[in-house]
Structure 1
């Protein structure tokens, strides 16, 4: 007796696979969206200090503001827990600026308001700023050329 051919996937399984593929696509494209928006500004910025300086602070603050505006500030807190947990001064600076960005993104009325708000925050920032409302960066002696990806 010949073996029966396999049954085709049910409609339910096809629909479920399609939904999972769509979710996967969205999860893959969202980081690309955030990075593209952020880097389009960063690469045009005249700020110095690509690593550990004002430009680094700007990048972190801007990316976090975009995430908080488009998703929620809680997503920034999650990123901090996952990505910034090494305990260095640079990580503390990044966490600080990410939280400022989250607050900016939460307050922004329009997407176009985000970058000017972030730039004002950086312009009023300082080396080792302790205020939770002030963007911070490390001293110029700690800055490094290039960017931290």
Structure 2
């Protein structure tokens, strides 16, 4: 598996991790699909499932590259960027432990239920204050339901996605057979994005240097190869350095053996 395989999971297409995480967040009926608990839940299960499927190294690299491409430093979204990064890290820890997609969701629900969203605990998810939430679940008239009318923060929200009428997530790789084999190794260490990018840069630079050297060698005129017909004395000139004293040494060359 390579980083390109992880990047494909960003696409909002049926069967991708991104699509499954979005549908699961919608089915949870949590408030605040933007900037609220539903948004935090989506990040937990998105990063968690990427880790469960692809291993910690690729998941961390992929998640960070994705966030870097979405948010720019110093923008008004910087706070949301920090929140997303925090929740993604928690998701990675979930993915290292979970054996299935269902376990990823259950572990994420447990963390959401325990959190107040204020960031006072490093091991719990965070989200913005409620005045910044948007995209709540909608009623039959397509109107957003006020948070006060949703089952939140009542713990019963955790059973919301078990309703028979919810949308199918269309996700076929949630079984234990799709769990990354690296999770069996407790010593697996994450690679930082900088480490990975620098390693790739060094490899590409080395390839370019070799290619340039090969090109230079192929363009250098070479003296024609001639077969010596007889032996004789060979004089070799050498210098101490450029413009220095000239030294001459000679030796006798034997004729070639036929």
Match of 1:100 in 2: 90
2:133 maps to 1:143? yes
2:99 maps to 1:116? no
Deviation at 1:69, TM superposition (A): 0.2
Instruction: Give the 3-state SS of the residue equivalent to 2:27 in structure 1.
Output: coil
Show the 5 A alignment for 1:1-149: 30-31=9-10, 32=13, 33-85=16-68, 86-87=72-73, 88-145=78-135
Gaps of 5+ in 2: 137-258
Q: Which has the higher contact order (CA 8 A, sep 6+)?
A: 1
Deviation at 1:27, TM superposition (A): 6.5
- Whichever of the two has the greater Rg, that structure is 2
Decide which moves more: 131-140 or 97-106: 131-140
Count of aligned pairs? 124
Q: 1:37-85: CA deviations, max 9, x gaps?
A: 2123122111101111000000111100000000012233223432334
- Structure 1 length-normalised TM: 0.71
Mapped partners of 1:27, 1:83: distance in 2: 10
Higher helix residue share: 1
Gaps of 5+ in 1: 1-22
Mapped partners of 1:76, 1:105: distance in 2: 9
Mapped partners of 2:118, 2:108: distance in 1: 18
